[in-house]
Chains A and B, each alone.
Chain A
Amino acid sequence: MDRGTVLAGAIAPALLMALPAAADPLVWGFQAEQNEYRVTDGDNVYAWDFDAFIGTDEARFVWRSEGEYAFGEDAFETLENQARVQVPISDFWDAVAGVRLDTPSGPDRVFGVIGLHGLAPQFIETDIDFFIADDPAFRFEIEYEGLITNRIILTPSFELDLPFTDDEEIGLGGFGPSMELGLRLSYDLVDRAIAPYVGVHYERSFGESSLLAQREGENPGAVFFVVGARLQF
């Protein structure tokens, strides 16, 4: 058992204590920001990124799942599930604690999670997470919904992953960041429940991570054309 798990294990129950006895009604929901087929000249990929939550105004339990399944390899390039507890700490920000479990095709990893989730000024949806383990990492994600019309929405997004140590087994070099840039154009077809979209998705790794990828014979950068549907219910 690594430090992260221990830490998360200690924090999560403390946060759950903040849940009120029976005062607030429970709310729940499901939001998939990415649910898409990525086409490139290499291996095509199905990818998702969703939050399912249940909770109250005081605390929400969130199951966050992200994954990329490569059809050519018949393998999960990434498969990451987090159990997170979010507790409001200000009008627009939640503190986050939880556990992250990576179970892709290949070696598994477990992290404790401490982070912030919220809405930054100018309506920028923001996640800042520290992943605590023997090989700790940092992640910064932002997203903005630009309204072309009230139903046609252009969503730029940016994600930065920064490992703090070398974890060569899974292709990460210390302080060699990887980055994702996305631009998705969606249309709210059914309320906000189903919003089909098209877009581009660009991934690239830098530094040590980039070198590791090249050594494996992979391209450190790739552009995808994506088609998918945002879901919210």
Chain B
Amino acid sequence: MAYRLLGRATLLGAGLGMALSGAAVSGTYDITVDRIEIDTGDFTKTGIGYNGSQTPTVLRFREGEEVTINVTNNLSEETSIHWHGLILPFDQDGVPEISYDGIAPGETFTHRFPIVQSGTYWFHSHSGFQEPDGAYGAIIIEPEGRPLARFDKEYVVQLTDKHPHSGDRIMRNLKMSADYYNREQRTLFDFISDASENGVGATLEERRMWGEMRMMPTDIEDVQGFTPLINGLGPDQNWTGLFEKGERVLLRFINSSAMTYFDVRIPGLKMTVVAADGNPVQPVPVDEFRIGVAETYDVIVRPRTEDAHTIFAESMGRTAYARGTLAVREGLEAPVPELRESPRLTMADMGMDHGSMAGMDHSAMTGGQDGEHTMPDGTTMKGMDHGSMAGMDHSTMGGEHTMADGTTMKGMDHGSMAGMDHGSMGMSTGDPFYAAGSGLVPKAANGGKFLSYADLKAAKPLYEDRDATREIELRLTGNMERYIWSINGVKYEDADPIVLNYGERVRFKFVNETMMTHPMHLHGMWSILDNDNGKWDPVKHTVSVSPGTTVFMETEVDAPGQWAFHCHLSYHAAAGMFRKVVVVGGPEDQRAELDPVSGG
């Protein structure tokens, strides 16, 4: 093999060490899947809980351990558990119809796999909408060597967006009316205030533009009306983590939401990010960070006084917040900030601001949807069909476009765009992982440092850096009005699997042609985010792709079998933004028994 799997080598070493010491660690864990009553403080509902509780179960493993996990299904429907972020044999991955048949009501399924990594991960049902209904828990894996940072105490901070409606009902409502849960739409009053700020003409023009597209700048959270929870507790129930003055506290943030990104801060405390998606990163001190659905971030905080501190996690659309407290004893509270103003998508998020659209490779983009986009000057562009856009007469788009918010889009210099390289992406916005001029670019509440994907550098790269052997383009596509989400314009039901060859390093190119942010999760193999840090590119399991951007990630194809690959927003995955990945080849004994069709 041309390259060395550092991870595997380490594992081998660990195995050898254990063999020599004669003490292979193994542990048995039991999980029951139960129908429970959930109380968020705002409402109660029937949902699902592991081990009969709305407090998420925390599994604590050791790197090198052989785990046996007995999952007993006490529901009246099939269930499953996916071990999110864990590297394991594909038949243990817990995805019905891809890894195994699922777990029938009343049955116990026994998972057995070795733990070959360390860090913060989580687990959740991969059946129906059981995860939004409450079927999620946390996994902490202690490393064999030194901990990733020095800390005195540690807490899991597991976020979710608990909704009063069942997952099935939410999906049905979205299919009936895609804006069913959007209560942040622009109203007459917004019109009046915009008009008084920008003039009636400009406001009308801006409204007309969005109306032409039949899209809304408020489409940031599909599903609103939820109560965010921290470790199963609503804002009023105030989950509290205790510390003593001067202690270093490791907070393991996990976003187990169905649909919601959170912006997390702890007013008064600097947070130092030491791991992302379980893997150690070179520490980054920040004031605030955005956690995508399914991501995890480990941060260290060090309160130097006895003051209580609020853990404040605002939803990205600013419709709700999770709240907990760090304090020296139970019952203490710190001020709870107000929700900030809701962001609005801009034309940049629609992929329309081509003048500054960063790093987009137009020639390689092929059209997916039709529909028309009308620019303020009255020219019409075919929907998201960037392929045909490349051939249009750009001269009609020259001059200045004035947006309702007063910003102007300069005439577009397509000539220079061709030469745009990844490195210069989005220098104007400050965060290359948002479209230049995006309405979603986050800012720290205290004016300080907001974590960017660009800041993440692997502390211990798992693989040697090498060129990818192949590039696969995945356009993230959808039809908001019909609530159909897809990849390359094809939804899961109609799609062929993505076939990868064992031993190759695949470069995935995500082109987000929708106006929503998609956290893309590949099962079974690591996602090395290309954030221009070369050999230090961080190793993740979930890569968030903002609207109007192109993001690359690379995967060393080192896990035989078949795997799921999908947007981790529950209702997007269910609506079709999902693929099966088949890895062909690899060690004989680990190969999947693939049906000939999907294996082709």
Contact = CB atoms under 8 A, between A and B. Distances in A.
Interface of A: 20, 23-25, 27-29, 31, 57, 88, 90-92, 119, 121-123, 146-151, 191-192, 232
7 contacts: A23-B494, A27-B171, A91-B369, A119-B214, A121-B212, A192-B173, A232-B176
B482 A57 contact: yes
Contacts, number: 71
B481 A24 contact: no
Contacts of A149: 187-189
9 closest cross-chain pairs (CB), A and B:
A122-B211, A23-B493, A29-B176, A27-B175, A147-B187, A91-B371, A150-B183, A121-B212, A148-B188
Given A57-B482, A91-B370, A28 B172 contact: yes
A230 to B, nearest CB: 12
**Chain A facing B: main interface SS:** loop
Contacts of A192: 173, 177, 180
A29 B172 CA distance: 8
Contacts of B225: 191
Interface string B484-495: 100000010110
A122 B208 contact: yes
Given A119-B481, A192-B180, 7 more contacts: A88-B482, A91-B481, A92-B481, A121-B372, A147-B185, A147-B186, A191-B180
B370 A90 contact: yes
B598 interface: no
Interface string B419-440: 0000000000000000000000
Contacts of A147: 185-188
B184 interface: yes
Interface residues of B, number: 34
Interface string B213-255: 1100000000001000000000000000000000000000000
Interface string B198-216: 0000000000100111100
Contacts of B183: 150-151
A147 B187 CA distance: 5
A217 B591 CA distance: 83
Interface in B161-194: 171-173, 175-177, 180, 183-189
Contacts of A123: 211, 214
A148 B185 CA distance: 10
B383 interface: yes
Interface in B355-381: 369-372
Contact of A20 (B171, B177, B493): B493
A20 B491 CA distance: 13
Contacts of A91: 369-371, 383, 479, 481-482
A57 B185 contact: no
A2 to B, nearest CB: 34
A57 B176 contact: no
A146 B493 contact: no
Contacts of B176: 27, 29, 31, 232
Contacts of B189: 148-149
Nearest to A154: B188
Contacts of A191: 180, 225
Residue among B175, B370, B482 with the highest chain A CB neighbour number at 10 A: B175
A220 B215 CA distance: 40
Given A57-B484, A91-B383, A148-B187, A121 B172 contact: no
Contacts of A90: 370-371
A92 B187 contact: no
B225 to A, nearest CB: 8
Nearest to A192: B180
A122 B212 contact: yes
Contacts of A151: 183
A57 B176 CA distance: 11
A17 to B, nearest CB: 16
Contacts of B214: 92, 119, 121-123
Given A122-B208, A122-B211, A147-B185, A27 B370 contact: no
Nearest to B211: A122
Given A20-B493, A23-B493, A91-B383, A150 B371 contact: no
